[in-house]
Amino acid sequence: MSSDSSAGGGPGRRHAAQQRILLDLLGRLRPHLRSDQNLPARIETLLSGDRRRGSRDRRLYRELIYTALRHLPWAEPRLDSDPERATRMIAWLAADTQATSAFRAGQAGDWPPAPPGLADRAAFLGEDPQALLPPWFRSHCPELFQPVELDAQLRRAPLWLRLQAGDPAPVFAELEAKGWDFRRADALGTAIRILSEADVTRTDAHRSGLLEIQDIGSQLVLTMAAPALGGRWLDACAGAGGKTLQLARLLGPTGRVDAFDIRRSALAELASRASRAGAGTIRILPGPPEDRYDGVLVDAPCTGSGTWRRAPHLRWSTTEAGVRRSAERQLDLLGRFSSLVSPGGRLVYATCSLSSLENEDVVGAFLASHPDFTPKPPPDLLGFTPRGPGFLLLPSVHDSDGFFVSLLSRT
């Protein structure tokens, strides 16, 4: 039995104990909220540090902590001036899950249900919805401050999967047998959204490589690039290989993908995933690539503003100076790997950033010094909005992370 559920004296004492624990956890985290880029790992370490705290309690406090992070400019002042109201606010704003329902009833049961729209929630609390994004970011992506995008930012990010099975029927049968609600995306047949609380990694479909966890926005980046069957491509910043696996599938059995990344641990994970998926057309390079390719994907490391609702701590730990430093690295990567594109080949630049500095400004600077590359229009916008020499996907369009992609052709 967990430390929370074992508190005697009925619901009142249990809710008081939960409030104390939440405030203690937030108090320990507060010195790091605006500086720690690796805050999720710190949170997990903190939650697992007390062995008396069971999995149900960890789910509760994890959700409450992330709710506080999403609404940090509202919650943080009250943690000092009125901790009880801060707890009520966090409980009221938290997603309605099995883990949070009893806590919400105990802490804010006398408040009306939270309305779905952020503007109405802000009005009830007397808060400013615009404050929930860093003010300096407005010039980087003004669209993110519009009501529809603010609403998307304050929702829990959904779980998206990518089908790798030729026949999806066994995958769907297993998901249905587990009682999980899901739907196939209208914009992309390979994308499945899970509507239930689910650990997909424990399914036979995932263990056998028929399913991969991949955001629909990420899937749309390569779908938009539309690589030709049978081509030779380089994934120059492969990481753990979500897009690498998708690229191999798009190129088909006669294609080939070389994968490179300076992070060897990420490539080790890619090797495991490729083996599980039976992706024999992927070759992990032992060192920097030197060949020429029909296409090169530069899925550049970025500051991740497109993932802010999934990783809300990045809203407060990311700085404008950090964005500028990231843009310099991205321009260097783009210039370095562009030399590996064969004449007539494709160069795809992508980020999970919504900042113009990391996106259209980087591509614009690259094109200014590389006249042999020209922007190429996609066959289908798939919900992306034109942005200079590229295209931006805002989170509200497909309930996804945000992405930027630029498709360039070497003349």
Per-residue pLDDT in tens (0 to 9) along the chain, 411 residues: 344 543 444 567 888 999 999 999 999 999 999 999 999 999 999 999 877 788 888 999 999 999 999 999 999 999 999 999 999 999 999 988 888 999 999 999 999 999 999 999 999 999 999 999 999 999 999 999 999 999 999 988 999 999 998 899 999 999 999 999 999 999 999 999 998 888 999 999 999 999 999 999 999 999 999 999 999 999 999 999 899 999 999 999 999 999 999 998 989 999 999 999 899 999 999 999 999 999 999 999 999 999 999 999 999 999 999 999 999 999 999 999 999 999 999 999 999 999 999 999 999 999 999 999 999 999 999 999 999 999 999 999 999 999 999 999 999
Determine, yes or no, domain membership for 206: yes
C-alpha 70/C-alpha 47 separation (Å) is 18
Query: Is 141 noted as a catalytic residue in this protein?
Result: no
| Active-site residue, selected from the candidate residues 141, 237, 302, 352 | 352
Domain count, the chain: 3
Same domain, 203 and 230: no
> Do 347 and 222 sit in the same domain of this protein?
yes
Residues 86 and 118 placed together within one structural domain of the fold: yes
Query: Is 0.85 topped by the overall pTM?
Result: yes
| Residue 104 and residue 17 share a domain | yes
Q: Are residues 40 and 55 in the same domain?
A: yes
Residues 185, 304: one domain? Answer: no
In a domain, residue 117? The reply is yes
According to the model, what pLDDT value does residue 52 have?
A: 75
Residue numbers of the domain that contains 174:
160-213
**In this structure, is residue 137 part of a structural domain?**
no
The CATH number of residue 197's host domain is 3.30.70.1170
Do 223 and 197 reside in the same domain of the chain? no
Note whether 252 and 352 are same-domain residues: yes
CA gap 188, 168 in Å, rounded: 14
Q: Do 262 and 202 have their domain in common?
A: no
